[in-house]
Amino acid sequence: MDIWFQDEMRIGQRGTQTRLWARKGTRPRVVRQQQSESAYIFGAVCPQQGSAVGLVMPHANTEAMAHHLQALSEAVPAGRHAVLVLDRAGWHTTAKLPQFSNLSLLPLPAGSPELNPAEQVWQQLRDRHLANRCYDSYEQIVDACCDAWNAFTQIPGAIRSLCSRRWAMVPSASVMS
């Protein structure tokens, strides 16, 4: 059994502003767009295996979540079962989601985002790749999301170090002689 953590993040033209390095006494300017094109990164990470599955979708809804669950189910190795820890967004808890034999959903208590390590993934993506940017089009937003997700998942050990939680560790099976 593997424990996965799932969440989604909106990225768009009205993006996030973060702190910048600047000379003491200066006030750097950051452009903030007024357009409203956006996309959502649906991401799931398995710290135990160091694995990740991400999709960029135009909306955060039941249909997008169904696509993400399908991709996650396909990523779970044969003979393994994934427990997917996620928040209680409406599209996570609806009975309209498809069921997969190798995937179980485990909703977190309401109002407890601090229990979901995927939240820290979003912070890292914003800080390193997605904040303080302007996008000319939806396609540019999608490209930036894909580049940020792929860059994060390619850092050796990043998923394990950022997302591991002692309370979510699955003990290894003991080998009997």
151, two tokens: 């860059």
Q: Are 42 and 8 in contact (CB under 8 A)?
A: yes
Local structure of 51: helix, strand or coil: strand
CATH fold group of domain 2-12+33-164 = Nucleotidyltransferase; domain 5 (3.30.420)
CA dist 177 and 168 (Å) reads 28
CA angle 72, 168, 96 (to 5 degrees): 40
Residue-by-residue pLDDT tens, the chain, 177 positions: 899 999 999 998 555 555 667 788 887 766 654 557 889 999 999 999 999 999 999 999 999 999 999 999 999 999 999 999 999 998 998 999 999 999 999 999 988 888 899 999 999 999 899 887 788 889 999 999 999 999 999 999 999 988 888 776 766 544 444
Q: Are 158 and 152 in contact (CB under 8 A)?
A: yes
Name residue, tokens 């398995």: 46
CA dist 83 and 88 (Å) reads 15
64, two tokens: 């997008």
118, two tokens: 């995927």
According to the model, what pLDDT value does residue 13 have?
55
Q: Are 75 and 175 in contact (CB under 8 A)?
A: no
21, two tokens: 């390095």
Name residue, tokens 């190798």: 102
According to the model, what pLDDT value does residue 53 have?
97
